[in-house]
Amino acid sequence: MDEPSMTSSPAAAPGPPTPPTPLAELLAREELGLRRIAGPADADLLWVHTSEMADPYPYLLGGELLLSAGVLLTDPDHYVGRLVEAGAAALGFGVRPVHETVPRALIEACDRYGLPLLEVPPETPFTTIARAVWRLMAEARHRELRRVTRAQQALATAAARPDPVPAVLHQLATQLGGRAVLLTARGQEVHAAGRRPDPEAAGALSRLARVVARERPGSPSSATDTHGGTHLSAYALGGGEGLVLALATRQRESGDHTVAGIAVVLLSLLAAPHQGADAAGRSAALVRMLLGASPAEVAPLLGPTGPWTVIHARRTDGAPADTLTAGALGASLGTALVDAERGAGEAVRVLLGPGPEADRIAARPTPRPGWTLGASAPTAVTALAAADAVAARALAHARATCAPLTVDAPTGGLAALVPPEQAAAHARALLAPLTAPLADTLRCWLSLHGSWDRTAVALGVHRNTVRQRIGRCGELLAVDLDDMDVRTELWFALRQT
């Protein structure tokens, strides 16, 4: 098998992206005995992959520390070239029993292509290296989550001050260590905080802000750039009459986009000139959730407690959806609760409250021209997080099957006869050997009737990766996935998670 020996579990959790692990941190772990013998010293590791294939290119996603003992190594130059082409971050070569030393030709090829090469001593198992990388990534993610949480609390507190807009900008500039500016569509400063960048960078920031000012349909909701070592970003505000939040920072951490997104939500609410009673209640609910309130506590502010339907949507033509286009989709569905501020390439999320449109979508799927939709079954407000994940899976299924809309149906039939608590306990025990990525792949593959190609499309991976993961699932579960009884039981279990 050619499977990643360890991926970063925290990357699948909600929140900011997991920061990459610097190669230097891994090399600093003296107990591993790793030694860099070729290539540059700097590299960022996203995960670890072990392969003894002559050409592992089809199984690489980019950013891997690839570990190999060189079992099938015959042409080092071609091998390293393919690794670099696939985006591998570094190569770890284990000496003995196949090779007594790292081949000289491999060292020269890594120097020539600029790929860091690590010598792995025979006493260090590859799994130990994988665990070390995972541990470093988990620690980095924990630090980033704590930083983002502190920033979220500080921004929400600033929003409650008598001068909320300047206070939020000041706190944002402090948290990101840069300049935060609120600009009009014409580039005029409304409020600003933090150290002003040099004139050229300030001019570039104003030009970037005009890109997202939404003076015409099709403008992006956010944009980023770099000017002379200064990182620039701009975000259009949802309710601010063409207002733009612009940022200039010297560094760009993995959680900065999340922190900026929180500020965008708060500033959009604060800049909205008028709100009806319903909108005001929902805005209050949002602010309270940012301050740490649970969905159950804010449910009264949302009006009726259910049912609510979560929809994930993508443009059928693959084009990114700006806020105006996403708002039009929400209007066609009868709701103003639309989240399109998630970055390029991500789905628009729509929340439908109780009403005939939500019931009609659940009962009879109605396509929306130009969109591919995935919808959850109607659910209570306290279960929206789970419904959000279900809608994401429904959208992936719809895209893989070229269907305009897929709706996740509630459990019924024979499955409904099993008490939910017993079903969930059985599912946890049965699926315990699987990691989250493997379980997600198995769920998608079963939902698409074992189609390798459609599953690859839905997950955005190579079809060989799907085969590899499904094979791994069969091994870990010790079952024959060609057996229909096995598939049925697994599908029932996966529906409980």
Least confident of 7-11, 234-238, 334-338, 383-387: 7-11
pLDDT of residue 357: 47
DSSP 105-130: HHHHHHHHHT--EEEEPTTS-HHHHH
pLDDT tens-place string over residues 14-28: 455 677 889 999 999
* pLDDT of res. 414: 57
**What amino acid occupies position 254?**
S
Is 474 strand, coil or helix?
helix
Residue type, 372: T
Reduce the DSSP state of residue 35 to 3 states and report it: strand
Q: How far apart are CA 309 and CA 105, in angstroms?
A: 59
| Statement: residue 464 has pLDDT above 70 | yes
How much is the mean pLDDT over the chain? Answer: 79
Query: What is the per-residue pLDDT for 250?
Result: 86
Q: Say what the pLDDT of residue 112 is.
A: 95
pLDDT digits (tens, 9 = 90+) for 117-130: 999 999 999 999 99
pLDDT of residue 52: 92
Distance in angstroms (rounded) separating the CA atoms of residues 234 and 205: 8
Please indicate whether residue 167 or residue 283 has the higher confidence score (pLDDT). 167
* Placement of tokens 């084009």 in the chain: 319
Task: Report the range out of 259-268, 374-383, 430-439, 468-477 with the highest average pLDDT.
Answer: 468-477
Environment class of residue 456 by beta-carbon count within 10 Å: exposed (0-12), middle (13-18) or buried (19+)? buried
Of 342, 348, 341, 345, whose CA–CA distance to 236 is shortest?
341
Task: Count CB atoms within 10 A of the CB of residue 123.
Answer: 9
Lowest mean pLDDT among 51-65, 100-114, 413-427: 413-427
Residue 330 confidence (pLDDT) above 80: no
DSSP state of 378: P
The proportion of the chain whose per-residue pLDDT surpasses 70, expressed as a percent, equals: 78
Mean pLDDT of 310-338: 74
Check: CB of residue 148 under 8 Å from CB of residue 259.
yes
Q: What is the DSSP letter of 49?
A: E
Could you tell me if 8 and 19 are in contact, meaning their C-beta atoms sit under 8 angstroms apart? Answer: no
pLDDT at 286: 58
Give residue 285's pLDDT: 61
Q: How confident is the model at residue 374 (pLDDT cuts 50, 70, 90)?
A: confident
Describe the chain by its helix, strand, coil percentages, rounded to 5: 45, 15, 35
Task: Give 279-312 pLDDT, tens digit per residue.
Answer: 555 556 655 655 566 666 666 666 555 677 888 8
How would residue 275 be classed by pLDDT, with cut points 50, 70 and 90?
Answer: very low
The pair of structure tokens assigned to 48 is: 């670890």
Confidence at residue 17, expressed as pLDDT on a 0 to 100 scale = 65
- pLDDT digits 0-9 by tens, 38-92: 999 999 998 899 999 999 998 888 899 999 999 999 999 999 999 999 999 999 9
DSSP-assigned beta bridge partners for residue 45: 21
The mean per-residue pLDDT over the stretch 314-343 comes to 71
pLDDT at position 86? 92
Given a cut of 70, whether residue 478 has pLDDT beyond it is yes
Contact 365, 407 (CB under 8 A): yes
What confidence tier does 3 reach under pLDDT thresholds 50, 70, 90? very low
Whether residue 261 has pLDDT greater than 90: no
First to last CA, the chain: 27
Residues 399 and 315: their CA atoms lie apart, in Å, by: 10
Helical pair 463-477 and 452-459, crossing angle rounded to 10 deg: 100
Count CB neighbours of 126 within 10 A.
19
Q: Label residues 332-353 b or e (16+ Cβ within 10 Å = b).
A: ebebbbbbbbbeeeebbbbbbb
Distance CA 396, CA 156 (A): 34
CA distance to 18, 55, 57, 221, 264, per residue, from 62 (Å): 15, 14, 10, 27, 31
**258-282: average pLDDT:** 68
Q: What is the pLDDT of residue 289?
A: 58
Q: Which residue has the tokens 């609760």?
A: 337
What is the phi-psi region of residue 232: left when phi exceeds 0, alpha when psi lies from -120 to 50, beta otherwise? beta
Cα separation, 315 vs 395, in Å, equals: 11
Q: Does residue 4 surpass a pLDDT of 50?
A: no
pTM: 0.45
pLDDT of residue 11: 34
The candidate with the shortest Cα–Cα distance to 477, out of 447, 448, 422, 438, is 438
What are phi and psi for residue 356, nearest 5 degrees? -65, -30
Give the separation between CA 386 and CA 312, rounded to whole angstroms: 13
Above 50 in pLDDT, residue 277? no
Q: Which two tokens stand for residue 328?
A: 């039009």
The answer to whether the CB of 187 falls within 8 A of the CB of 212 is: no
